[in-house]
Amino acid sequence: MIRSVRHLSTLRSTPRVAVVGAGPAGFYTAHRLLKLQPDTKIDLFESLPVPYGLARHGVAPDHPEVKNCQDTFDEVGNDPRVQFFGNVTVGDTLPVSKLRDNYNAVVLSYGTHTDRKLGIPGEDLPGVISARTFVNWYNGHPEHESLNPPLHKAETVTIVGNGNVALDIARILLSPLDHLKSTDITQQAYETLKTSKVKRVRIMARRGLLESAFTIKEIRELFKLPDTGFVAFPHTKWDDVLAAHKSYKRPLSRIVKLIEEYNLKAKQRDPAHASTLKQWSLDYLLSPKEVIANPDDPELVKTLIATENKLVSADGSGRIGVEPTGVTESFDTDLIFTSIGYASTPLEGIPFDDRKSVIPSSRGRVTDNGVYAAGWVKNGPTGVIATTMADSFDTAQAISDDITAGKLDGAKSGSDNLTQYLEDAISWDQWKKLEAHEHSQGDAAGKPREKVNNVAKMLEIARQ
């Protein structure tokens, strides 16, 4: 019986799968699918000439251990069943309809490409910088090569939002330079940080401490930064938190305990010593209302006006929301970083939920004829690498189940039929050549790699 099933499966044509976006979601979906369906051939399409997505352009340079996931991605890239096509933008140079015609399954894992907006007056001033732009800049994303944030004249900075991206930005701004020197932060960003005058970072959130979006590792790192002091909470707010915290689950109660410990230390700190430190604070229950321009310097802003909020849980879902109190506060600030979430953009002919800005799916199935989604474009921009991995495995399982059930049958020729669209593509070997260049440039500077942050240069080196 088993023998006859095997025999049948060899009669089937090889499933051809296209993966759109070579970030963690794309690689982990491919990784799992190759395990579940070893006969599959996978083509990975990436709009940049370089792979790894947010593992390269999102993960903070001082978190090298998190980037070890790239070892698994390299196993996928080196696999003879996988082809990489960098520098190919699906939906632009390569229409998505061509993928649907030439593959048994198309996985959309292209992530997020824009920012959620605050929707307030002054948001478009040059002194208001999106977190995504800033993070991409210090991580060498070619789209933001020329950001050049005016840190040399900014003393006070406000970060709106308190997820891990917000905390990464705070840490990069407050870290001693020797923490960053031997990381893969771009030389350009390092030189700019050298001139930074930032002395105070305010991390502002709409909701309360118990609704904080950061995870404990990132807040602990901020507390532990040398020559940096957390600014203690005013008494009243902290008492409110303590009144409730003991009944919360372990992750939250550990966070509260940690903050309690450092809040006490901050209160006991000698004021003379405190004045020598760079400062940072967690400011809760505030919604930005308006940004006031700096009349003396168009690169900076002057003031952030925010409305005080109170917590409400009115809709019965258990989710805590906020209501404005009508009281406003003004905060002097030189720059503002908005870190309130990334957003995905739609692809022509593919369903898209404009409100959530995701591709709607059921366990990764977007349509019943071979279109799947994985990662942030499927779930929204949340979670750590492990979350994306687990989610991508779910999508891979759905594809595998559909292959086994015969839902995706039919002989397809994949990229063999798309050569006219792939003339400018960068292969995996060419990427590895570019990477070798980055490693050798890094060696000279005493860092793991010096990223090339310009597409023309990437192409030139990869094609040498």
Partner 1 sequence: MLRTFSRQVLQVSRAVPRTFRPVAPATRLFQTSAPVFHGHVHKPKPGEEIKVTFITKDGEQIEVDTCEGDNLLDIAQANNLDMEGACGGSCACSTCHVIVDPEYYDKLEEPDDDENDMLDLAFGLTETSRLGCQVCMSKDLDGIRIALPAMTRNLQASDFN
Amino acid of residue 405: A
Q: Which residue number, 59 or 286, has a Cβ lying nearer to partner 1?
A: 59
The residue (of 65 and 315) whose beta carbon lies closer to partner 1 is 65
d(CA 166, CA 340) in angstroms, rounded, equals 9
d(CA 204, CA 294): 20
Say which DSSP state 94 is in.
B
CB-based contacts of 79, cutoff 8 Å, min separation 6: 34
Q: Which residues are annotated as a binding site for NADP(+)?
A: 162-165, 206-207, 218, 383
CA distance 76 to 41: 11
Residue 319 Cβ, how far from partner 1 at the closest point, in Å?
A: 14
Apex 386 CA angle, 383 and 389, nearest 5: 100
DSSP string, 364-420: TBSSSSSEEE-THHHH-S---HHHHHHHHHHHHHHHHHHHHTTTT-S---GGGG-GG
Identify which of residues 61 and 122 has a Cβ nearer to partner 1 in the complex: 61
* Closest separation in Å from C-beta 154 to partner 1: 29
Separation between Cα atoms, residue 254 and residue 258, nearest integer Å: 6
Shortest distance, position 237 Cβ to partner 1, whole Å: 24
Please, which residue, 299 or 394, has the CB nearer to partner 1?
A: 394
The binding site for partner 1 (CB under 8 A) comprises 63-69, 71-72, 181-182, 215-217, 220, 250-251, 254, 362-363, 384-387, 389-391, 393-394, 397, 439, 442-443, 446-448
Least distance CB 254 / partner 1 (angstroms): 6
Q: Please state the closest distance from residue 363 (CB atom) to partner 1, in A.
A: 5
**Cβ proximity to partner 1, 194 vs 463, nearer residue:** 194
Closer Cβ to partner 1, 247 or 276, answer by number: 247
Among residues 398, 421, 362, the alpha carbon closest in space to that of 97 is found at 421
- For residue 463, give every residue at least 6 positions away whose Cβ sits within 8 Å of its Cβ, in sequence order, or none: 426, 430
Instruction: Please report, in range form, the residues annotated as the binding site for FAD.
Output: 25, 46, 54, 90, 376, 383-385
- The binding site consists of 25, 46, 54, 90, 162-165, 206-207, 218, 376, 383-385
Minimum distance of partner 1 from residue 122's CB (angstroms): 36
Quote the DSSP letter at residue 330. Answer: E
Q: Please, which residue, 439 or 463, has the CB nearer to partner 1?
A: 439
Q: How far is the CB of 389 from partner 1 (least distance, A)?
A: 6
Give the Cα separation of 218 and 166 in Å (integer): 10
